[in-house]
Chain A
Amino acid sequence: MTTIELDRPAPRAAISWTFVVGMTLVGIHAAIALLTLVWTPYDPSSTAGGRLEAPSLLHWAGTDRLGRDLFTQIMIGSRIALQVGIGAVGIGAAIGVTIGVLAAFATRLLDDALAAAFDILIAFPTLLLAMLVVAASDTASLWSAILALGIALSAIVGRLTRILAKRVLQMDFITAARTSGTSWPRIVVIHVLPNIWPTLMVNFALQFGLAAIAEASLSYLGLGAPPPNASWGRLLQEAQGTVYTAPFGAIAPGLALLVLVIGINLFADGLRDVGDPTRRRSR
């Protein structure tokens, strides 16, 4: 025991440049998404512009074949992508973490059954799942896409949670907690969840990016939000027919999706360090 340690400076967070860049890129998207709630350059359904115009000062990303402003639609696409990411990861996390922790505690037989269920759901084509959800809810909407992606994600989250929780449950401090009379639910809340949380958070961030891409695919196929509040996938699909004469219609939404996913992946990378107290306190 030395007193030298007392004099060391207050711990500071170690934040990597990837975290900052990632957070900035995601932040820009989030700011744009919020902005669309109160203001867009044009009314998204207004066809006032000329058809298939190239980018100009009036229309920053040009116009589509109906004369609608593309920049406005891409901004709304930001909102939709974030809605899908938050919604799908939220549903996936709620179902996945709950069932994953239960599986870690379950008897051998139930645990095996749940593990098999996760594997089957992961193998199940997300596209087919989305079609089933659309069929069940009569119409393709943003919510059917979110629900389908959330269910698909829950299997991935569940499988990860189960493995992580099992590993934590084998640690000595769990036995130590039990010898002093800590109940199982309390152990889950104070020991298991905090110890698996950093890894889960990184995974959630990565799933967020995957959900945004998956939603673009679903929308491209007509299984997502219908126009005029269309997602980037729908914009890509609409631009497909005119890609040779007006390539901006496809490039612009593609670029927006690319920036968002890169931002999220960098953010996830930085999140790993933030969740680790040994790194959190080192300078």
Chain B
Amino acid sequence: MSLLAVNNLGIATGGQDLVADLSFAIEPGQRLGLIGESGSGKSLTAMAITGLLPPAIVPRGSVTLDGVEVIGAPERKLNQLRGAASAVVFQEPLTALDPLMKLGNQLAEPLHRRFRREGRDLANIDAEIIALLERVSLPQPQRIANAYPYEVSGGQRQRVAIAMALACRPKLLIADEPTTALDVTTQAEILALLDSLVRDLGMALLFISHDLPVVSTIVDQVLVLRQGRMVETGPVKTVLGAPQHQYTQSLVAAARAFDSALGAS
């Protein structure tokens, strides 16, 4: 059984379809890239998977996450699913962390729930916080745990945000443009980190991005979205190497043109 099965997902607001007829599945440990331009419905799809669409935006169809139907599920049931089945890393690490809470305390929140879920001794949480910060390659974890978000750099904040997602020990990690707000060097580091974490912890990955080169380095399968509809899907090499659809071709051509422009300069 698939870890995540999306069947004929539609997302609409005020009678207008934002996403329609979207179907895909992610098996345990599999990595899928969701590609599309701004407004193509990538992030809405991620929100629908975790049952976190705003009240005015209504989903239809079916989303089964870890065997639980998400659409129409009560908040209580969703809260048990969130964290345990899926966790999300967001685009902007500054706003995704509470500015008034020390980073260690923020990490303690999901850890607390997981420890209780797994029946582990809550006294070990402090040690686990440090271990998690080390796991995402943050130097001086003790100092980071005692710092407020504004006291660490953007790349470090994103590492903390990833550590928070890991704290849940999810089966599916959803990364919503996790490198877009970072500079290119940091981007590469974060991608390498995500890659190794997903491999080592055996998580499945749903990687959302508009950036083809970024996506192609980290996932095996891609799905191209345009205006809320699937354009093309398949293994990365096939879709990006020999795109069938005109839209995908134009995306690939654009990325190539950018590369050659860089090479020429």
Q: Identify the A interface with B (CB < 8 A).
A: 1, 3, 5-6, 171-173, 175-184, 186, 190-191, 194-195, 277-278, 281
Contacts and interface: CB of A to CB of B under 8 A. Distances in A.
Nearest to B79: A181
Nearest to A168: B98
Contacts of A182: 79, 109-110, 113
Contacts of A181: 79-84, 110, 113, 168
Contact of A176 (B97, B150, B156): B97
Consensus secondary structure, chain A interface: helix
Contacts of A1: 139-140, 153, 156
Nearest to B140: A6
B86 A179 contact: yes
Given A6-B143, A179-B50, A278-B150, A190 B109 contact: yes
B109 A180 contact: yes
Nearest to B155: A1
Given A172-B96, A277-B148, A177 B88 contact: no
Contacts, number: 86
B168 to A, nearest CB: 5
9 contacts: A3-B140, A176-B90, A176-B164, A179-B174, A181-B110, A182-B109, A182-B110, A190-B109, A278-B148
Interface of B: 50, 52, 75, 79-84, 86-88, 90, 92, 95-101, 109-110, 113, 139-140, 143, 148, 150-151, 153, 156, 161, 164-165, 167-168, 174
Given A1-B153, A6-B140, A6-B143, A180 B98 contact: no
B90 A172 contact: yes
A277 B87 contact: no
Nearest to B75: A184
A5 B146 CA distance: 13
A170 to B, nearest CB: 10
A190 B84 CA distance: 21
B13 to A, nearest CB: 15
A3 B140 CA distance: 9
B88 A176 contact: yes
